[in-house]
Amino acid sequence: MRRYQRILSRLVSSLWAGALSFHALAAFAVPDAPAPTTSAKVTRDLLYKKGGDPKLNVLDIYSPPGKTNCPVVIFIHGGGWQIGDKKSGSKGKAEAFPQQGYVFISINYRLAPKVQHPALVQDCAAAIAWVRNNVAAYGGDPSTLFVMGHSAGAHLAALVSTDERYLQAEGLSLGNLKGVVLLDGGSYDMTGKGFKKPSKVEPITNAFGSDPAVWKAASPVYHIRPGKGIPPFEILYVSHRPDSKSQSEELARALTGAKVRAEVKPAHNKTHETLNKELGMPGDVPTQQVYAFFSGITGQPVRPIAAAPGGLPDKATPSAAGKPRNGFQRLQALDLTAAQKTQVRAILEKYQGDRRNPAFRKEIAQVLTPEQRGRYAGNQP
């Protein structure tokens, strides 16, 4: 503990001196996913909705140079329906997927509480429609569209791919989608017992209001029926997160019960953040699973990628069960705002990182939102 405190003290001192960013703290545990490079052709901030918000109704396109008729992956970022950005979703994946011959598209959408359901999923449907109508000009095949989302983005991806009303409003159908990939979503059924937790209720009410009927209408599991043309699903969840596991398995049961192909797979040695952040990295098991899912539908072979040196095995071990290994990693996984980071730095310095101190925990909790508190508590070792 003393050694831990000395290291933390030096890191915090460097932070205040301007030598390190907040994210540098977590870099001691997990390296950042590689930022997008210039090998893909990049087109940014394309408005997908006429009269839409010029910052939130936009998308970025990453295309394999010189290629045409490529399958298309549309990514929907997470953030509790209230924060997040298309750039955070593009790291790593924006380079890796074009290398595999896919056009990768990362979208923004309007956020709660400024807007509520169904505005968010309507934006996603509008983005999908724009992509279908325009992606050929960027090397994509409009007849081969995949939707992928992380966290709250996984919920939106599942909803737009099961409730046909949103795509129909844009002149499309569920049959226009070839497949769906979900990364550690936990909101496929918002009527469940888990949503009575305070950490769940606040982000849900901010985005969906307080009417249980609306919560049910926004839950993908209640829109699954045979014969609707629902596309195949690949559902990944972090192995140590019970809520994600139960929600993912419930969704998969509903899909397979409706004769829709669905595979649900645990991601070992991952956190809620790193499952998304490391997707596209060499040697990453979930990445290979996603590539195989796409390949099974498109027939496009997966290009060999060398394993990352020192990569973790697929099976969890008692010492590496997928949970964040230290306080730095857990706090970074919460997507803190700039103001929150400033407050957390001060608390880290004040208590020298002693997370067992009840006063430390209380002050950290006061900085976090209810959702962040739930995620932070769920990531405790």
The H-or-E segment that residue 70 falls in is strand 70-76
Percent of the chain with pLDDT over 90: 63
**pLDDT tens across 229-260, in order?**
999 999 999 999 999 999 999 999 999 999 99
**pLDDT tens across 25-48, in order?**
332 233 333 344 448 999 999 999
CA 150 – CA 50 distance, rounded (Å): 26
> Where does the pLDDT of residue 318 fall: very low under 50, low under 70, confident under 90, or very high at 90 and above?
very low
**pLDDT tens across 266-299, in order?**
999 999 999 999 999 998 999 999 999 999 999 9
**pLDDT tens across 68-91, in order?**
999 999 999 999 999 999 998 788
What pLDDT does 312 receive?
Answer: 34
What pLDDT does 354 receive?
Answer: 59
The CB density around residue 1, as the number of other CB atoms within 10 Å, is 9
User: Which CA distances in Å does 326 have to 128, 298, 311?
Assistant: 39, 41, 19
Model confidence at 112: pLDDT above 90 = yes
Residue 320 or residue 117, greater confidence: 117
**pLDDT tens across 118-142, in order?**
999 999 999 999 999 999 999 999 9
Q: Which CATH superfamily is domain 41-298 in?
A: Alpha/Beta hydrolase fold, catalytic domain (3.40.50.1820)
**pLDDT tens across 328-341, in order?**
556 656 677 877 87
Instruction: Supply the pTM of this predicted model.
Output: 0.73
| Strand 58-63 relative to strand 103-107, pairing | antiparallel
What pLDDT does 195 receive?
Answer: 63
Task: Calculate the average pLDDT of the chain.
Answer: 82
Model confidence at 16: pLDDT above 60 = no
What pLDDT does 196 receive?
Answer: 57
Model confidence at 171: pLDDT above 80 = yes
Task: Taking residues 357-362, report their average pLDDT.
Answer: 80
What pLDDT does 11 receive?
Answer: 36
Hey, which residues does 234 pair with through a beta bridge?
Answer: 181, 263
DSSP designation for 106: E
CA 179 – CA 145 distance, rounded (Å): 7
Q: Where are the domains of the chain?
A: 2-29+324-378, 41-298
Residue 327 or residue 250, greater confidence: 250
CA 148 – CA 290 distance, rounded (Å): 10
Matching residue, tokens 């991806």: 157
Hey, which residues does 140 pair with through a beta bridge?
Answer: 70
User: Closest by alpha carbon to 153, among 216, 107, 211?
Assistant: 107
> Where does the pLDDT of residue 376 fall: very low under 50, low under 70, confident under 90, or very high at 90 and above?
low
> Where does the pLDDT of residue 209 fall: very low under 50, low under 70, confident under 90, or very high at 90 and above?
very high
What pLDDT does 29 receive?
Answer: 30
Residue 201 or residue 31, greater confidence: 201
What pLDDT does 159 receive?
Answer: 98
What pLDDT does 372 receive?
Answer: 76
